[in-house]
């Protein structure tokens, strides 16, 4: 082979003696063959793929200057190749050639031909790249150019050296070829990379070099350093990274996998015969909740739902990215073993003083090249893993959201809204985390196997001792994993439980404040939190044991190996080459060994999350044909035949199944809200009516007029462009009803299900709505309408009436027909019909309805006052927003801190941990680091024994000392880390407790205004994501940061100790390091904050969706809400994606810095090799090889800590919100206060905020003991009652209750002595007893008494668990009427002398209303009662009526009730 090549080149191919000189060079034949063919072979291998692209028809990109310049340069290179070929031909066969002279060798013919053809191929490849959509350049072409330039360097220096060696008067041999080579080399160099700028995401236009070094991200980093980034700075997502693209593929594969899992589950179920099949019939008689609990227990076993389908779905969806990242990981793992081999060569070079210096420099350069290649490949691997994690999280969040839209109610009852939010936050995040490390499952065993193989080469069979130690650790590992798994599952249960109560608190905060129940619910949350922290402490201690074992592992493994090696034979002496190559291999081994427990822990946590997600996502979908539930029949054999275009009324008592009938007709198994049609989302008024339909101005106007919304719009500052708060908080009950009705009418459907839309509106407005919209002459006259109503006055005008009694259709027929039949309906009419009809008839025909007042709370003022937004100091409004009308916006953008995290935030966290614990744990970690350095310096000293005892017997006592000290230092490391970790765990749990307690305590004490203007998603985010970060992320990153900082300082200390000259490099590198870190942290931190802020809307939107699920389904708007969810997730991804890239950008720069540390430590070792012993060289370089990773982790952890500490900052923000007045003061009222119930308003003035105008202007009035006062008027009614409870504080004047000024009392002293029955009956998750008496002050007898008075005793007795009956979230398993009666029972139990009824019977039927009124008359006869009412019959027996007039608000009129009857409507 060699001879043939020599003939082909015309010179010697390889000369060994050339390399034993101080100044070596490659033979010319190698330069002309191997170094030419290598880049060309690579090009020809890649060419077919490019040429195949040329054959496809694709849209060409326009001709750019870059493309033209590339083609011109390739053309010129083609011409140089032709010129070289022509020169050779001319010299051999031209007219001036000498025929007798020897012809040129074949290489001078073939090389120009190869180059000429290759340049044509390059031009074709460049054209192929231009035809590829969105391609800027080609990675394969870049690698070809790079190889071409690098391989030509050798020929470059050979020709230059020859030319310089010529004597001045001698000519350069072969000048034409000399010139042609340098021309072509010059054309190679500047050819390639220019970065194309783009206003869009620059990644799409980035060149190959820019992509592998992440240079395209520079603009974002610079912008982030100059000023804090905002959402508007985020680039658009690449199409393949958008949630729509991600979810589409995931859902398709999920459907297939889920189908397979269901069929395999079915097969499994069919095999064994179960014994409980005969019990189904009995089960139906049992309460639904008991059954759900039984089901939950059963379903915990894996066989009850399809499992093991989620992981295959993820793997198949993202297989491309998985395979790419696996390839990069494999290359990186193999490259990591090149460094120890180069270290071995380096140590042998320092030992062999006769070897030439160039050998050492070559090794130093090779170390740099290998390290740089490792860095590039590792970052490409990480980039793909993190992007994969992001995509998996996105796919899971979207899948959970989509499932929530279609899940059946039986399945939904098993997961509360809080649990589903946890699925979207915590569980999806776990999958995100695990995908970052998923390849370590095979990479760790591979690295361990390779390390052991190389160690065997170094130390022979002794390595088996180390291997045995590792094998013994496997069962310990298994035990730790099992325990971790059980703790994690327990922890997630407590988390869900806690979030469920927090959700309850936020949904019912107004009721908690009215009843002064905050401390009871705070205690409930704290109790669960303590259990959660107990489990966390166990988990932390278990992790400490795990850390101890795996800190000891490398030390024990190396100790066992070295001890056996030196003990087996006296000839085995540990020299520097063996010891430090082994230590480098042990350091490689340290990573997979340290990662395995973490990996097991992450896998355990993810397995728990996988089960939870599989259980929810595989739940049954809504069955649109279902009418009854399996566990409790609500409707019995309902048969209805409703003809098109008819108006059918459904009537019946509370709990008779009216709403359930509507739900069944809509395909809901069980209604999620008492009134299906009430759903108002946080959108503009206009959008709430359109609800995704196209705008038709004429139809919109007629609907607004028909639904009596015109007068309301006049009251709102931005008319129909006013922003509506979350869940419609700034609309009154009547306004919400009418907006919902308007939405239904505007949707122009064929069939309308109207679930009591006339209950919460005034009687005359109800008449208007019936006449203009629902009735025989209304907008819907040609549509089929099914109307659930409690209003008897409308029944004569309907086509058909359906009477429901206990879930059975009792009667069906026309109004006259049913009256004549003398059935249950006829009796009902006789009892309740007279009052109702007389009230309606009083309304004059031509009277137009007036606007309802918005609820008189803080929000309506926020909307109505011109200055509402001028006083917001939390965020600077953009110019775009300032174009809004004043008062239009209600929900402000979430406040976000900018710039560096304040040092006080770190101090607060450390203070929460406890200074003593922090100091001691840092001290232990510091000593542990000293022990590591001590162990390695001891090893370096040990290796010098090989020189000292060369060719002599190695004394046993010295050997034993060496082994003993080495082992003792190793075990000491483990114990020190163990102690440090345990102390840190204790500290972090203490911090978690302190921060959560102060957050919860403060949230319960903030004024009502805060809850009205803050979406609950934001508050939930603090309790879910931010507390999760404080619990789990901050302790981990804090510990890693301390270890990394000490690791880097230790490494620099050891290198400076070995080669003091290295200190000269440390300073400039530290400066570069500082600037890179500051640039990065500024950007990364702000991106992390943007991620937090853009995450909240995902949860807010999800919460709104769950609460209005039945409306979304009824209107068939699932797709629109899915799209909105995708857009919200995309907004979040816009900050997540740059954050991922920022980590890679940093890592590339830091690893380059680390690679320079390796290079300089090797270079200085070569320079000063005469003064260094080989042990110190080994120590220095093996430490340097480790520094790259540690340096990278230090900045990552600094940033990680700073970005995670943002959670503390966000928690602190809510901890520092100003509180309402103290709950308890030193001024306690007497125990029996108020004894009489006299209320005296004296010049009482109130405003919502100091800078706003008054809303009540100096009211003075007296309400005597036991008086019954009816409150009427359009606005101000609720303000007055809120003032009594001090929800709003007085700006002047006072309210005296039994002679005591209420402003001098603590809020709990005041509120616990007053009672209110609010309009919306709010219940909490928990037992019936807890809902009535959360402080457990009353006996069971007292509770049964009030239940009897509230007409609920029979119902509760009929429940299997009685008072311990579980009320589901929001009281969904009770009808609206039953909920209202429970609220009445609450009021009865409090036995206070002052009662406020806030439109308390608006949502119940007349029969229940009558029951409530009778109870109030008898049981509260000794009380002062204030009643706010829509229907006059509720205040007819009031002793006086207070009328608050619309325009002036402060004028009050008193009438005797009989006078009121005559004049009310004229004044109203």
Written in H, E and C, the secondary structure of 750-768 is: CEEEEECCCCCCCHHHHHH
Separation of alpha carbons 327 and 394, rounded Å:
24
Separation of alpha carbons 1188 and 893, rounded Å:
41
* pLDDT score at 1287: 86
What would the pLDDT profile of 1318-1352 be if each residue is shown by its tens digit? 877 888 888 888 888 888 888 888 889 888 888 88
- Residue 361 tokens, joined: 């420099």
Q: Kindly tell me if the per-residue pLDDT of 116 is higher than 80.
A: yes
Q: Kindly tell me if the per-residue pLDDT of 326 is higher than 90.
A: yes
* pLDDT score at 223: 87
Q: Are 1397 and 1380 in contact (CB under 8 A)?
A: no
**What percent of the chain clears pLDDT 90, i.e. is strictly above it?**
5
* pLDDT score at 1404: 67
Question: If you count DSSP H runs as helices and E runs as strands, how many of each does the chain have, helices first?
Answer: 53, 17
Which of 11-15, 101-105, 1177-1181, 1366-1370 bottoms out in mean pLDDT, i.e. has the lowest?
11-15
Mean pLDDT of 19-44: 77
Q: Computed from CA positions of residues 1453, 1456, 1459, 1464, in that sequence, does the dihedral angle turn out positive or negative?
A: positive
Mean pLDDT of 1296-1302: 88
Q: pLDDT-derived band of residue 714, with 50, 70 and 90 as boundaries?
A: low
* pLDDT score at 323: 92
Q: Kindly tell me if the per-residue pLDDT of 1193 is higher than 50.
A: yes
* pLDDT score at 687: 62
Mean pLDDT of 418-429: 80
> Rounded to whole angstroms, what are the CA distances from 33 to 4, 19, 716, 1244?
12, 19, 85, 101
* pLDDT score at 996: 92
Q: pLDDT-derived band of residue 993, with 50, 70 and 90 as boundaries?
A: very high
Q: Kindly tell me if the per-residue pLDDT of 675 is higher than 60.
A: no
Q: Kindly tell me if the per-residue pLDDT of 1169 is higher than 50.
A: yes
Q: pLDDT-derived band of residue 867, with 50, 70 and 90 as boundaries?
A: very low
Q: Kindly tell me if the per-residue pLDDT of 965 is higher than 80.
A: yes
Nearest C-alpha neighbor of 1413 from the set 1201, 1268, 1290: 1268
* pLDDT score at 507: 86
Mean pLDDT of 446-468: 86
**What percent of the chain clears pLDDT 70, i.e. is strictly above it?**
79
Q: Kindly tell me if the per-residue pLDDT of 967 is higher than 80.
A: yes
Q: pLDDT-derived band of residue 1463, with 50, 70 and 90 as boundaries?
A: very low
Nearest C-alpha neighbor of 1160 from the set 196, 344, 364, 404: 364
Separation of alpha carbons 980 and 987, rounded Å:
11
> Rounded to whole angstroms, what are the CA distances from 1282 to 21, 160, 1276, 1288?
97, 93, 10, 6
Separation of alpha carbons 582 and 942, rounded Å:
14
Residues 6+ away with beta carbon under 8 Å from 764: 843, 847, 849, 1465
* pLDDT score at 692: 63
Count of C-beta atoms within a 10 Å radius of residue 266: 10
Separation of alpha carbons 612 and 620, rounded Å:
15
Higher pLDDT residue, 16 or 1450? 16
Q: Are 1179 and 936 in contact (CB under 8 A)?
A: yes
Q: Which of 492-506, 670-684, 796-810 has the highest mean pLDDT?
A: 492-506
Higher pLDDT residue, 686 or 76? 76
> Rounded to whole angstroms, what are the CA distances from 820 to 815, 816, 817, 824, 825?
9, 6, 5, 11, 10
Q: pLDDT-derived band of residue 568, with 50, 70 and 90 as boundaries?
A: confident
* pLDDT score at 722: 65
What would the pLDDT profile of 604-620 be if each residue is shown by its tens digit? 778 888 888 888 888 87
What would the pLDDT profile of 1218-1237 be if each residue is shown by its tens digit? 888 888 888 888 888 888 88
* pLDDT score at 313: 92
* pLDDT score at 526: 92
Q: Kindly tell me if the per-residue pLDDT of 410 is higher than 70.
A: yes
Higher pLDDT residue, 548 or 734? 548
First to last CA, the chain: 111
* pLDDT score at 325: 93
Q: Please, what is the angle between helix 1118-1167 and helix 243-270, to 10°?
A: 100
What would the pLDDT profile of 178-234 be if each residue is shown by its tens digit? 777 778 777 776 544 444 444 467 887 777 888 888 888 888 888 888 888 888 888
* pLDDT score at 197: 42
Which of 538-542, 754-758, 1117-1121 bottoms out in mean pLDDT, i.e. has the lowest?
754-758
User: Mean pLDDT for the chain?
Assistant: 77
Mean pLDDT of 641-648: 79
What would the pLDDT profile of 469-514 be if each residue is shown by its tens digit? 877 776 787 788 778 878 888 888 898 888 888 888 888 888 888 8
Q: pLDDT-derived band of residue 1445, with 50, 70 and 90 as boundaries?
A: low
Residues facing 1441 on adjacent strands: 1270, 1455
* pLDDT score at 166: 66
What would the pLDDT profile of 255-292 be if each residue is shown by its tens digit? 898 888 888 888 887 775 544 444 433 333 334 444 34
* pLDDT score at 858: 33
Higher pLDDT residue, 183 or 1248? 183
Mean pLDDT of 569-573: 73
Separation of alpha carbons 1462 and 842, rounded Å:
9
Which of 7-21, 24-38, 579-593 bottoms out in mean pLDDT, i.e. has the lowest?
7-21
Q: Which of 105-109, 303-307, 1119-1123, 1201-1205 has the highest mean pLDDT?
A: 1119-1123
Q: Kindly tell me if the per-residue pLDDT of 331 is higher than 50.
A: yes
Q: Kindly tell me if the per-residue pLDDT of 891 is higher than 70.
A: no
Q: pLDDT-derived band of residue 48, with 50, 70 and 90 as boundaries?
A: confident
Higher pLDDT residue, 913 or 794? 913
What would the pLDDT profile of 1091-1147 be if each residue is shown by its tens digit? 878 887 888 788 778 777 777 877 778 888 888 888 889 988 988 889 889 888 888
Nearest C-alpha neighbor of 970 from the set 1271, 438, 550, 366: 550
> Rounded to whole angstroms, what are the CA distances from 936 to 573, 1043, 1111?
17, 17, 69
Separation of alpha carbons 66 and 47, rounded Å:
21
* pLDDT score at 535: 92
Residues 6+ away with beta carbon under 8 Å from 1041: 1194, 1197, 1198, 1200, 1201
User: What DSSP string runs through 1384-1398?
Assistant: HHHHHHH--SEEEEE
* pLDDT score at 546: 80
């Amino acid at each position: 082979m060699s001879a043939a090549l020599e003939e082909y080149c015309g010179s010697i191919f390889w000369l060994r003696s050339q390399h034993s000189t101080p100044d070596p060079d490659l033979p010319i034949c190698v330069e002309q063959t191997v170094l030419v063919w290598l880049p060309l072979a690579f090009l020809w291998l890649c060419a077919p793929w490019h040429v195949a692209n040329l054959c496809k028809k694709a849209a060409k990109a326009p001709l750019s200057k870059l493309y033209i310049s590339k083609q011109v340069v390739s053309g010129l290179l083609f011409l140089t190749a032709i010129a070289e070929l022509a020169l050779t031909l001319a010299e051999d066969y031209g007219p001036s050639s000498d025929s007798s002279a020897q012809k040129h060798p074949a290489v001078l013919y073939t090389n120009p031909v190869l180059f000429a053809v290759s340049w044509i191929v390059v031009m074709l490849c460049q054209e192929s790249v231009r035809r590829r959509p969105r391609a800027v350049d080609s990675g394969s072409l870049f690698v070809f150019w790079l190889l071409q330039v690098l391989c030509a360097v050798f020929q470059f220096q050979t020709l230059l050296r020859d030319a310089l060696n010529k004597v001045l008067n001698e000519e350069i041999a072969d000048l034409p070829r000399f010139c042609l080579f340098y021309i072509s080399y010059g054309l190679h160099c500047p050819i390639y990379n220019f970065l194309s700028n783009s206003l869009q995401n620059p990644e799409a236009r980035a060149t190959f070099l820019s992509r592998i070094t992440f240079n395209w991200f520079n603009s974002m980093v610079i912008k982030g350093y100059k000023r804090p980034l905002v959402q508007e700075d985020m680039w658009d997502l690449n199409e393949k990274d958008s949630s729509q693209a991600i979810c589409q593929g995931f859902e398709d594969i999920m459907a297939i996998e889920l189908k397979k899992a269901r069929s395999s589950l079915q097969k499994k179920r069919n095999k064994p015969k179960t014994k409980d099949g005969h019990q189904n019939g009995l089960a139906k008689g049992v309460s639904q909740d008991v059954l759900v609990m039984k089901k939950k227990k059963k379903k915990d076993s894996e066989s009850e739902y399809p499992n093991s389908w989620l992981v295959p779905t993820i793997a198949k969806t993202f297989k491309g990215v998985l395979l790419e990242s696996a390839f990069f990981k494999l290359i990186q793992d193999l490259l990591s073993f090149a460094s120890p081999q180069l270290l071995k060569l380096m140590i042998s070079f320092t030992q062999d003083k006769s070897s030439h210096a160039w050998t050492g420099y070559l090794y130093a350069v090779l170390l740099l090249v290998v390290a740089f290649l490792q860095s590039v490949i590792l970052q490409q691997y990480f980039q793909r893993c993190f992007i994969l994690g992001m995509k998996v999280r996105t796919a899971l969040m979207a899948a959970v959201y989509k499932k929530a839209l279609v899940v059946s109610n039986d399945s939904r009852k098993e997961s509360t809204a809080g649990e589903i939010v946890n699925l979207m936050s915590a569980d999806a995040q776990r999958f995100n985390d695990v995908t970052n490390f998923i390849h370590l499952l095979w990479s760790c065993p591979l690295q361990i196997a390779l390390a052991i193989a190389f160690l065997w080469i170094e130390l022979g069979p002794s390595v088996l001792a180390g291997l045995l130690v590792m094998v013994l650790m496997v069962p310990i590992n298994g035990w730790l994993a099992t325990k971790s798994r059980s703790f994690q599952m327990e922890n997630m249960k407590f988390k869900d439980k806690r979030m469920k109560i927090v959700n309850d608190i936020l949904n019912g905060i107004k009721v908690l404040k009215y009843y002064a129940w905050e401390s009871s619910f705070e205690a409930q949350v704290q109790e669960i939190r303590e259990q959660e922290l107990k489990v966390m402490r166990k988990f932390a201690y278990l992790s400490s044991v795990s850390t101890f074992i795996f800190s000891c592992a490398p030390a024990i493994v190396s100790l066992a190996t070295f001890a056996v090696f030196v003990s087996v034979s006296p000839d085995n002496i540990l020299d520097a080459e063996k010891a430090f190559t082994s230590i480098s291999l042990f350091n490689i081994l340290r990573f997979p060994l340290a990662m395995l427990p973490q990996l097991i822990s992450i896998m355990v946590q993810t397995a728990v999350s996988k089960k939870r997600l599989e259980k929810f996502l595989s739940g049954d979908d809504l069955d649109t044909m279902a009418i009854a539930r399996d566990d409790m029949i609500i409707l019995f054999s309902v048969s209805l035949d409703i003809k098109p275009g008819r108006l059918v009324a459904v009537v019946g008592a509370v709990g008779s199944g009216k709403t359930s009938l509507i739900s069944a007709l809509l395909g809901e198994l069980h209604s999620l809200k008492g009134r299906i049609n009430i759903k108002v989302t946080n959108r503009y008024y206009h959008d709430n009516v359109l609800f995704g339909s196209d705008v038709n101005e004429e139809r919109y106007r007629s609907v607004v007029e028909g639904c009596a919304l015109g007068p309301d719009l006049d009251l709102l500052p931005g008319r129909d462009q006013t922003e509506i708060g979350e869940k419609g908080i700034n609309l009154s009950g009547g306004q919400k009803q009418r907006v919902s009705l308007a939405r239904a009418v505007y949707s122009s459907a064929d069939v309308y299900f109207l679930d009591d839309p006339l209950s919460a509106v005034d009687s005359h407005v109800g008449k208007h709505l019936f006449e203009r919209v629902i009735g025989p002459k209304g907008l819907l006259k040609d549509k089929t309408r099914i109307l659930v109503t409690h209003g008897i006055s409308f029944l004569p005008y309907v086509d058909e009436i359906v009477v429901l009694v206990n879930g059975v259709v009792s009667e069906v027929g026309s109004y006259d027909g049913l009256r004549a039949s003398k059935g249950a309906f006829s009796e009902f009419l006789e009892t309740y019909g007279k009052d109702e009809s007389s009230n309606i008839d009083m309304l004059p025909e031509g009277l137009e309805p007036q606007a309802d007042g918005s609820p008189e709370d803080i929000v309506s003022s926020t909307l109505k006052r011109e200055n509402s937004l001028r006083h917001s100091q939390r965020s600077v409004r953009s110019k775009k927003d300032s174009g809004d009308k004043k008062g239009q916006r209600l929900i402000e953008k979430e406040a976000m801190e900018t710039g560096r995290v304040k040092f006080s935030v770190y101090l607060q966290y450390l203070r929460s941990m406890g200074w003593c614990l922090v100091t001691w744990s840092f001290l232990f970690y510091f000593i542990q680091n000293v022990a590591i350095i001590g162990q390695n310096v001891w090893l370096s000293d040990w290796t010098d024994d090989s020189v000292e005892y060369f060719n002599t017997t190695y004394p046993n006592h010295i050997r034993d000392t060496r082994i003993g000290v080495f082992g003792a230092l190793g075990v000491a490391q483990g114990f020190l880390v163990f102690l440090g970790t345990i102390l840190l765990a204790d500290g972090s749990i203490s911090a978690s407790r302190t921060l959560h307690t102060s957050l919860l305590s403060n949230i319960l004490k903030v004024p009502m205004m805060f809850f009205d203007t803050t979406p609950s998603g934001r508050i939930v985010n603090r309790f879910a994501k931010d507390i999760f970060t404080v619990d789990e992320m901050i302790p981990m990153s804090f510990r890693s940061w301390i270890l990394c900082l000490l690791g880097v300082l230790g490494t620099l200390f050891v290198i400076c100790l070995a080669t003091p000259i290295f200190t000269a490099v440390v300073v400039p590198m530290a400066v570069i390091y500082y600037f890179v870190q500051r640039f990065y942290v500024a950007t990364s931190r702000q991106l992390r904050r943007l991620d937090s802020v853009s995450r909240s809307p995902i949860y807010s939107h999800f919460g709104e969706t769950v609460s209005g699920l039945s409306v979304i389904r009824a209107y068939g708007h699932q797709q629109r809400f899915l799209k909105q969810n995708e857009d919200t997730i995309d907004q979040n991804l816009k900050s997540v994606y740059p954050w991922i890239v920022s980590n890679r950008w940093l890592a590339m720069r830091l690893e380059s810095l680390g690679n320079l540390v390796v290079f300089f430590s090797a270079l200085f070792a070569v320079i000063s090799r005469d003064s260094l012993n080989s042990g110190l060289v080994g120590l220095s370089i093996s430490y340097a090889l480790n520094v790259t990773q540690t340096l990278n982790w230090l900045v990552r952890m600094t940033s990680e800590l700073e970005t995670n500490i943002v959670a503390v900052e966000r928690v602190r923000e809510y901890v520092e919100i100003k509180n309402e007045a103290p709950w308890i003061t030193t001024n306690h009222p007497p125990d029996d206060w108020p004894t009489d119930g006299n209320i005296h308003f004296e010049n009482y003035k109130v405003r919502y905020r100091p800078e706003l105008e008054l809303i009540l202007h100096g009211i003075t009035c007296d309400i005597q003991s036991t008086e019954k006062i009816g409150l009427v008027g359009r606005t101000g009614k609720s303000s007055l009652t809120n003032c009594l409870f001090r929800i709003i504080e007085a700006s002047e004047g006072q309210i005296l209750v039994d002679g005591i000024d209420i402003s001098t009392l603590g809020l709990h002293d005041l509120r616990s002595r007053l009672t209110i029955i609010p309009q919306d009956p709010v219940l909490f998750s928990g037992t019936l007893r807890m809902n009535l008496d959360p402080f457990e002050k009353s006996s069971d007898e007292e509770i049964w008494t009030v239940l009897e008075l509230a007409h609920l005793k029979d119902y509760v007795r009929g429940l299997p668990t009685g008072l311990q009956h579980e009320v589901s979230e929001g009281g969904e398993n009770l009808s609206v009427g039953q909920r209202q009666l429970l609220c009445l029972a609450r009021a009865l139990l409090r036995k206070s002398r002052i009662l406020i009824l806030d439109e308390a019977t608006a949502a119940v039927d007349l029969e229940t209303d009558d029951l409530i009124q009778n109870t109030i008359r008898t049981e509260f006869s000794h009380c002062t009662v204030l009643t706010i009412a829509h229907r006059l019959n509720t205040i007819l027996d009031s002793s006086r009526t207070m009328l608050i007039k619309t325009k002036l608000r402060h004028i009050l009129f008193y009438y005797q009730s009989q006078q009121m009857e005559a004049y009310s409507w004229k004044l109203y």
